[in-house]
Each structure stands twice: as structure tokens, then as C-alpha cells.
């Protein structure tokens, strides 16, 4: 976001950017972590004005956006996905979750169950992603607030920045509609762990709060 205006000005000098599509591999078919990694990718993509299609078997995603935005998304996802999985493994290995329970949704009924290593990992992932979405949203909002409050001939950045972002989002959306062959909507995670709580929620949110976002210059399926 903070570089969107600068990129727009640079593009006029170096040639205007055009939206494109890029495929990112998520994991082998059947891996339990794929849906959570996709959810993380979608959160990062949406914060950077990109649209996402998700493979029916959840093994890859296609991001639609401006080249520079897609580079940011790829860089952030490569870093955060490794951090989330590694931190989740550390939490599961610590066995803090032993003896804790969670509320599962089974046949539309809520039941209290004792955590297993797998459900504890899922709860950690879901808490991590929820916190990361908050951070991305906060960062995007802060960038816009840091622009001048009013527009004038000597201070046009806020109006220019908002216009650039709006026009970019419209252009990417139009490109996505033309280029995408996806049908329906990706359902996301559908397991029983719906509301992370206990040590899993605390550990997941804490890990996401520690994750570095500063390496990326900007934070700005079936269709998601």
C-alpha cells in the first residue's frame, strides 16, 4: 500500500503494469495442512489487492494481480507459511494441549472433545491465521491513515493513493473475471475445530504476532 502511489508513478515512466496470473504450489494431494495454508495465502493476497482461485484438490492456488503485488504475496507466503508450520510443530511437540478440550461441531451439534495432536495443530493454525488477518488489516488501515487527511495541490497523496488503489482493484477484478475458469466457491476448512481456545489459541496468536512482515514492501478461489 505504501508503495502503490510510487509504483503508479514509476509505471508511467517504465511502462504500465498489467495484471497477470501466477500459480503457487501448496502441497501434495491429501495433505491435511493444505486448506490452512490456502487460507493463509488468501489472507495475504486479499491484503495486497489480489484475487485467488483454488484448485479443486487444494494442491495449488492461482493469484491474479499486478506483478509487483504478486511478488509481495509470494514472498510473504513463503516466509509466513514456513513460520506457521514450524511454530505449530513446536506447539504440538510441547504437549501443552494435553488434557485440554475444544468445542467440536459434529452433525451440526456442538460437542466438547479432548484435544488430540491433530486437533491442537488445527486450532493453532486457525488462531495464527486469524491474528495474521488482523495484522494485515491494521497495517493497511495505518498506511491510509498516515497519508495527509485532506487533498490539496501541495498535498495530494491521500486522494491519489486512494484513487490508485481503487483503480488497481477494479482492473484486477476485471482481469480475474476474464481470465479465470473457476466455478463455484472454495469452501475452506470444514472440520470440527471451529473456535480455537485454550493454549492453542494463545500460542497461535502469539506466534503470528511475532512473525515479521517488514521484509515485504507492501501489504495493501474457486473464487475466494
Q: Does residue 219 sit within a domain? A: no
Q: Does residue 187 sit within a domain? A: yes
Assigned C-alpha cell, 21: 496470473
- Tens of pLDDT, residues 11-49: 444 457 899 999 999 999 999 999 999 999 999 999 999
Q: Which domain holds residue 45?
A: 4-209
Name the pTM for this structure: 0.83
Q: How many domains, in total, are found in the chain?
A: 1
Rounded CA-CA distance 204/17 in Å is 37
Q: Does residue 96 sit within a domain? A: yes
Q: Does residue 65 sit within a domain? A: yes
Q: Does residue 49 sit within a domain? A: yes
Q: Does residue 48 sit within a domain? A: yes
Is the CB of residue 59 less than 8 Å from the CB of residue 29? yes
Q: Does residue 99 sit within a domain? A: yes
Closest listed residue to residue 156, CA positions, set 12, 13, 8: 8
Per DSSP (E only), the strands in the chain are 20-25, 51-54, 60-65, 101-106, 109-114
- Tens of pLDDT, residues 55-75: 999 999 999 999 999 999 999
Is the CB of residue 207 less than 8 Å from the CB of residue 84? yes
Assigned C-alpha cell, 153: 495541490
Rounded CA-CA distance 65/51 in Å is 7
Q: Does residue 222 sit within a domain? A: no
Amino acid at each position: 500500500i505504501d508503495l502503490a502511489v510510487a509504483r503508479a508513478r514509476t509505471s508511467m515512466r517504465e511502462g504500465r503494469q498489467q495484471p497477470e496470473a501466477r500459480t503457487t504450489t501448496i502441497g501434495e494431494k491429501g495433505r491435511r495442512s493444505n486448506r490452512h495454508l490456502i487460507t493463509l495465502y488468501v489472507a495475504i493476497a486479499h491484503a495486497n489487492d489480489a484475487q485467488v482461485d483454488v484448485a479443486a484438490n487444494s494442491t495449488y492456488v492461482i493469484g491474479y494481480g499486478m506483478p509487483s503485488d504478486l511478488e509481495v504475496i509470494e514472498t510473504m507466503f513463503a516466509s509466513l507459511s514456513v513460520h506457521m508450520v514450524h511454530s505449530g510443530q513446536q506447539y504440538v511437540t510441547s504437549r501443552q494441549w494435553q488434557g485440554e478440550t475444544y468445542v467440536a461441531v459434529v452433525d451440526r451439534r456442538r460437542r466438547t472433545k479432548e484435544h488430540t495432536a491433530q486437533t491442537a495443530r488445527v486450532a493453532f493454525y486457525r488462531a495464527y491465521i486469524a491474528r495474521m488477518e488482523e495484522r494485515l488489516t491494521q497495517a493497511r488501515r495505518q498506511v491510509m491513515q498516515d497519508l495527509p487527511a485532506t487533498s490539496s495541490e501541495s498535498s495530494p497523496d491521500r486522494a491519489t493513493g486512494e484513487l490508485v488503489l481503487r483503480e488497481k482493484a477494479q482492473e484486477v477484478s476485471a482481469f480475474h473475471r476474464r481470465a479465470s475458469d473457476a466455478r463455484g466457491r472454495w469452501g475452506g476448512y470444514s472440520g470440527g475445530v471451529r473456535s480455537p481456545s485454550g493454549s492453542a489459541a494463545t500460542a497461535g496468536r502469539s506466534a503470528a504476532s511475532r512473525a515479521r512482515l517488514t521484509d515485504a514492501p507492501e501489504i495493501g478461489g474457486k473464487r475466494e
